[in-house]
Amino acid sequence: MPAALILIADGTEEMEFTITYDTLVRAGVSCTSAFVSDEKREGASAGYESNPPFAKGSRGIRILPDTYFSPHAATPDKYDLLVIPGGAKGAETISSNSSVQHLVREYLQAGKYVGMICAGSLVALTSGLSKQPVTSHPSVHDQLKDTFIYSEDPVVVSGKLVTSRGPGTTFPFALTLVELLCGKEKRAEVAGPMIFPPGTFA
């Protein structure tokens, strides 16, 4: 069974987190959510690796992560996919975390998938990834356009790096991850019962 680690922080965009998590679970992927602290929050100590607090999403919805983010527990030998959702404040916290930056490079070097959506694509920049096709939310376009080959496609696959644009592209983003991990037949199997309108991306 493939396994995915999905990061979350205060300010993470709720749809990008929950739709991706839910869609991967429907495909049989074992998912773990990990709370990345901005280190200013009370009780946010690097020594805590379980019982994290609620993450307060970008729209104020509280989500209880499975665990604290620990770089030692998040290595690519344990997971097949690392997912970084957006949301301005959450993306800022996650993209500025040096352990996350190192992990992104480690996953790609190990031939594992990394998914970034919305402002989460800033992690491609802060991690020092090579020039390649990416997309993101328009709000961070200017920060990425000179370093990468910028696209406005809903989902961009560049080797093992998968990027997407925002809440409205989360379903095609998540289904693309399902296809890459589990195959086209599984993507169709998962998308069917979701009942997308005819002619949409599924």
Active site (annotated) includes residue 182: no
User: Among residues 147, 173, 144, which one has the least CA distance to residue 161?
Assistant: 173
Choose the catalytic residue: 13, 31, 118, 182. 118
User: Among residues 106, 114, 93, 107, which one has the least CA distance to residue 164?
Assistant: 114
Active site (annotated) includes residue 16: yes
Phi then psi for 200, rounded to 5 degrees? Answer: -85, -175
Choose the catalytic residue: 14, 31, 106, 137. 137
| Phi-psi category of residue 121: left, alpha or beta, with phi > 0 → left and psi -120 to 50 → alpha | alpha
Active site (annotated) includes residue 185: no
Choose the catalytic residue: 13, 16, 106, 179. 16
Phi then psi for 194, rounded to 5 degrees? Answer: -75, -20
DSSP string, 56-95: E-TTS-EE--SEE--TTTS-TTT-SEEEE---HHHHHHHH
Please give the distance of CA 198 from its chain centroid, rounded to a whole number: 27
Phi then psi for 3, rounded to 5 degrees? Answer: -130, 140
Which positions are annotated as active-site residues?
16, 118, 137
